[in-house]
Amino acid sequence: MRQSQLFTRVSRQVPKDEVSKNAQLLIRAGFIHKEMAGVYSFLPLGLRVLNKVIGVIREEMDAIGGQELSLTALQEKALWEKTDRWDDRKVDVWFKTVLKNGTELGLGSTHEEPVTRLMTQYVNSYRDLPLLAYQFQTKFRNEMRAKSGIMRVREFIMKDLYSFARTEEEHAELYASVRAAYLRIFERVGLGKSTYATFASGGIFSKYSEEFQTVSEAGEDLIYVDEASGRALNKEVFTDEVLADLGMKREALVEKKSIEVGNIFTLGTRFSDPLGLKFRDEHGEERPVLMGCYGIGPGRVMGTIVETLSDEKGIVWPESVAPFRVHLLSLGQDKEADRIYQDLTSSGIETLYDDRTVSAGEKFAESDLIGIPYQVIIGKKTLESGEAEVKRRSDGSVDKISLVDLSEHFRVVVG
């Protein structure tokens, strides 16, 4: 894409009403737009990143046999009354509305109820199980606090997956497969080293749930990490009994602030019982389906990447989620740069081409702020030597690559 045609612009001004680093950087660099407190729109650069994050999650969900669907945001009161989750005293984040005829509707903050009811139409026999169903869908939550930029918002896309199993063992297998997929997802989006599967309170059907917590000063949670074993637990469950139960030693634990990027939960029959989701086993006996739920917020993941990987110059996107792979900067050498742009794009290399007539200093500073992994600099000197400077955003290292080999370099050499 030609940057001259991008309608967003980089701003030097730090937005005054934003306290979080992710919102400040993402707004300045033109990735997001604040509509109101806790409500952000995604602009072209931001949407590209969000979609990359979604793409990684989708690949991993499909790889474990997840079937993608899309449930509605609008929710029926009667359904949620069956599980006792319509009452605002039970679920305090509801957005609700009343139609002219008096019908009350809610905007879904999660989807256990509709997905469980849906499955009663399709699951009858043991032959219909196990199954995994997931979606990327807009949730609405009337969150109290909204100071964490895109990490805690009132309208956001969630990836929510639900598992349906016949036995405890089968549930444990599904749970383990989703857990492993989550670890791969956080690794692929650049958060692998800083993210811990963390024991948290479990509810009625299992002792613990697991949260995927990324260590960050911007986090709202506190966790205790045993760095030697890589195990962690949330402060909210931290008692001597729990430590003994998990075989963790108090002396080995280090307290850290962290961001909950994902969360996996055993539901047992919490929803299948009240909503009548049952199956007939091999002996013709009716049994409740055992469920689990597994969430990740792609927007929160994106905000966490900005919080944890950016530097004093701006954002540093990992290649897997960067809006573009290459930022081509023409320093007044548009004819040659045009040719290189054609070459890169026709080789399938996603390139943002800064073809604007602004100073070199401005181009460098803005490119560092936007955070595309590779800057390809085409200046007068470059052309004389027949080589482009290729600067890696993450560590500032520079390689000189022959102009004729550039697209090959990005296709093969850099991977």
* Residue 158 contacts ligand ATP per CB under 6 A: yes
Upper half-sphere CA count for residue 262 (Cβ side, 13 Å): 27
- Which stretch, 172-180, 270-278, 296-304, 387-395, contacts ligand ATP (CB under 6 A)? 296-304
Of 107 and 296, nearer to ligand ATP (C-beta) is 296
Query: Does residue 297 bind ligand ATP (CB under 6 A)?
Result: yes
From 112, 260, 307, 354, residue interacting with ligand ATP (rule: CB under 6 A): 260
> Looking at beta carbons only, is 185 or 261 nearer to ligand ATP?
261
Q: Is 371 in the site for ligand ATP (CB under 6 A)?
A: no
Please identify which residue in 28, 152, 171, 327 interacts with ligand ATP, judged by CB under 6 A: 152
Which residues, including other chains, have CB under 8 Å from residue 290's CB and lie 6 or more apart? 164, 165, 166, 167, 168, 170, 171, 267, 268, 269, 272
Angle between the N-to-C axes of helices 21-28 and 298-309, in degrees from 0 to 180, rounded to the nearest 10: 90
Q: From the CB of 91, what's the least distance to ligand ATP, in Å? A: 11
- Binding segment (CB under 6 A) for ligand ATP, from list 72-80, 115-123, 273-281, 289-297: 289-297
Closest CB 159 distance from ligand ATP, rounded Å = 8
Min dist. Cβ of residue 19 to ligand ATP (A)? 16
Among 18, 62, 128, 143, binds ligand ATP (CB under 6 A): 143
- C-alpha Rg value of the chain to the nearest Å: 24
- Which of 101-113 are b and which e, b meaning 16 or more Cβ less than 10 Å from the residue's Cβ? eeeeebbbbbbbb
292 touches ligand ATP (CB under 6 A): no
Q: Estimate the crossing angle of helix 44-63 against helix 298-309, to 10 degrees.
A: 110
The span from the CA of 119 to the CA of 100, in Å, is 31
Considering only 22, 75, 116, 263, the residue that binds ligand ATP (CB under 6 A) is 263
User: Which residue number, 152 or 409, has a Cβ lying nearer to ligand ATP?
Assistant: 152
> Number of C-alpha atoms within 13 angstroms, CB side, residue 66?
27
Using CB under 6 A as the binding rule, whether residue 306 contacts ligand ATP is answered as no
**Does residue 130 sit in helix, strand or coil?**
coil
- Residues in Cβ contact with 150 at an 8 Å cutoff, skipping those fewer than 6 apart: 22, 23, 26, 32, 40, 156, 299, 300, 302, 303
Which is nearer to ligand ATP, 25 or 302 (by Cβ)?
Answer: 302
Q: How far is the CB of 225 from ligand ATP (least distance, A)?
A: 18
The total of other beta-carbon atoms located within 10 Å of residue 70's CB is 10
Whole-angstrom Cα distance, residue 19 to residue 16? Answer: 8
Is 156 a binding residue for ligand ATP by CB under 6 A? The answer is yes
* Residue 113 contacts ligand ATP per CB under 6 A: no
| Length of the chain measured in residues | 415
List helix spans (H) across 17-111. 21-28, 44-63, 77-82
Binding ligand ATP (rule: CB under 6 A), the pick from 114, 262, 268, 314 is 262
Q: How far is the CB of 24 from ligand ATP (least distance, A)?
A: 17
Q: Which residues bind ligand ATP (CB under 6 A)?
A: 110, 141, 143, 152-153, 156, 158, 260-263, 295-297, 299-300
